[in-house]
Amino acid sequence: MIENKIKSRREITEICRRLKGEGKTIGFTSGAFDLLHAGHVDYLERAKALCDVLVVGVNSDISIKKYKGDERPVVKESHRMRLIAGLESVDYVFLFDERRNKKNIELLKPDFYIKAGDYKPSELTSKEIVEKYDGEVRILPIQETISTSDVIAVIKEIRGEEEERFVEKEKTVHIRKRPAKQIPAVFLDRDGTVIEDVGYLHDPEKLKFLPGALEGIKKLYDMGYRIIIVTNQPGIGIGYFPEEDFYRVNRAMLSVFSGAGILVDKIYFCPHSKSETCSCRKPGQTLIERAKEELNLNMHQSFFIGDKTSDMETGRRAGMQTILVRTGFGGQDGEYSGEPDFWAEDLLVASEIILKTERE
C-alpha cells in the first residue's frame, strides 16, 4: 500500500536504525519531484540498484518556494509524496522543510547518500557529514535530459506565455529573454567593495581589485547565484567624466572577471549627481526592481554586499539579506542607521558567510 510507505522523518529514522541492525543497506536521496517525469523514474530505479532499501526525502512546498520562487511547486506536497511512494523502486518517503540535506543525513545515517547530476563528491557540502559515520556518496549522472522546468516551459509556450519575446524600440528589434526559473542573486556595490575606491574612477589603468574580491565572487558564482553589480556614478552627472569612460572601466573589469571564470549577469548604474532627484540612486529601488524583473530573481534568497550604509539600506528595502564589508568606507559613511545582517572583512569572507547560511 502507498500509505504504508509514507512516514514522518522521525519514523523513518527509527526504521533505518532497525533495518541497518538487520544488515540491510540504506540508500537516501531527495528532491522536489515536481511534475514527475521519466528522468525522475530512471534516476530512482538506478538509485535502488545500489541498496537494499531506498528512502526518498521530498521537499515541502515551503522549501521549494524558498529556492524556486512563488510559482513552484506546480504539484502540492501531498500529491508529490504519493506519486513517489507509488514507484516500485521506492521503499519509504518522508517530507522535509530544509533546503539542504544536512539534518536528514545526520538523522538517517544512510549507507549511501545518492545525488543526481555531474557533481564531483568533493563538491558536495554534505560529503564530510556522510564520511564521519563511514557512509559513502554516490553520484548518478543524468541519463534522461528532460527536466520539470522544460515541461513547464513547453506548457507556457502552448499557452502563449513563452519567456522570450521580441522587443522593438526606435525601429530596432531584439529578443528579450526572461529566465523561466526564479533564482537568487548577489548584488554587489562596485567601488570600495569589488575594486578600490579611487574617487570618480574613469581610467581603466587605475582599476585595481580588492584582496579576496575575485576569489569570493567566483565562489558565489559557482554556488549558482546571479552576479549583479549596482553602482552610483555621480561623476557622470557632475560632469567629471562621460559615460563612455565608465563603460571603458567596466570593459576592463569584465575582462578580468572572464579570466577568473566569472560571468557577471548585469551592471546597473545611476549616472545622476546627489543633487538631482532620481529613483535610481541607491538606496532607491528602481535599478533593483529592474533587475528583479529582467532576471526573474527570488529577492528573499538574495544578498546585497557593499561597503556603505546606503548599500545596506538598498538591500533592506528590497527584502534581501545584507552584508557590510570592512573594505572601502567600511560602513563609516553615516548616511543610514541600522545594523546589517552580517559583517565581513572582504568579499571572500562574505562568500563564506553565504555558503554557511545555505548549509544551515
Instruction: Please indicate, yes or no, whether residues 117 and 213 belong to a single structural domain of this protein.
Output: no
Residue 64 to residues 31, 33, 39, 69, 72, Cα–Cα distance (Å)? 9, 10, 19, 7, 7
> Model confidence at 171, in pLDDT bands (50, 70, 90)?
low
Position 81 scores a pLDDT of 96
Query: 42, 221, 64: which is closest to 147 by C-alpha?
Result: 42
Rounded to whole angstroms, the Cα distance separating 46 from 54 reads 10
Instruction: Please indicate, yes or no, whether residues 163 and 199 belong to a single structural domain of this protein.
Output: no
Predicted confidence (pLDDT) per residue in 260-314, tens digit: 999 999 999 999 998 888 999 999 999 999 999 889 899 999 999 999 999 999 9
Rounded to whole angstroms, the Cα distance separating 135 from 128 reads 10
Q: Which residues pair with 305 in a beta bridge?
A: 188, 323
Position 167 scores a pLDDT of 57
**Ordered strands of the 303-306 beta sheet:** 266-270, 226-232, 185-188, 303-306, 321-325, 342-344
Number of compact structural domains in the chain: 3
Query: 142, 180, 138, 175: which is closest to 163 by C-alpha?
Result: 180
* Encoded amino acid at 103, one letter: K
Instruction: Please indicate, yes or no, whether residues 223 and 167 belong to a single structural domain of this protein.
Output: no
Instruction: Please indicate, yes or no, whether residues 329 and 253 belong to a single structural domain of this protein.
Output: yes
Instruction: Quote the DSSP letter at residue 215.
Output: H
Instruction: Please indicate, yes or no, whether residues 208 and 353 belong to a single structural domain of this protein.
Output: yes
CATH number, domain containing residue 127: 3.40.50.620
Instruction: Please indicate, yes or no, whether residues 334 and 246 belong to a single structural domain of this protein.
Output: yes
- The catalytic residue positions are 189, 191
Instruction: Please indicate, yes or no, whether residues 331 and 208 belong to a single structural domain of this protein.
Output: yes
> Model confidence at 125, in pLDDT bands (50, 70, 90)?
confident
> Model confidence at 42, in pLDDT bands (50, 70, 90)?
very high
Instruction: Please indicate, yes or no, whether residues 139 and 246 belong to a single structural domain of this protein.
Output: no
Q: Among 1-10, 17-26, 117-126, whose mean pLDDT is lowest?
A: 117-126
Tell me the average pLDDT across 145-159. Answer: 65
Instruction: Please indicate, yes or no, whether residues 205 and 219 belong to a single structural domain of this protein.
Output: yes
Position 176 scores a pLDDT of 62
End-of-domain residue from the set 97, 130, 146: 146
Beta pairing, strands 226-232 & 266-270: parallel
Instruction: Please indicate, yes or no, whether residues 305 and 271 belong to a single structural domain of this protein.
Output: yes
Instruction: Please indicate, yes or no, whether residues 321 and 249 belong to a single structural domain of this protein.
Output: yes
Position 145 scores a pLDDT of 63
Domain that holds residue 190: 185-359
> Model confidence at 154, in pLDDT bands (50, 70, 90)?
low
Q: Is the peptide bond before 110 cis (omega within 30 degrees of 0)?
A: no
Instruction: Please indicate, yes or no, whether residues 159 and 242 belong to a single structural domain of this protein.
Output: no
Look up the pTM and report it. 0.58
The torsion angles phi and psi of 304, rounded to 5 degrees, stand at: -120, 125
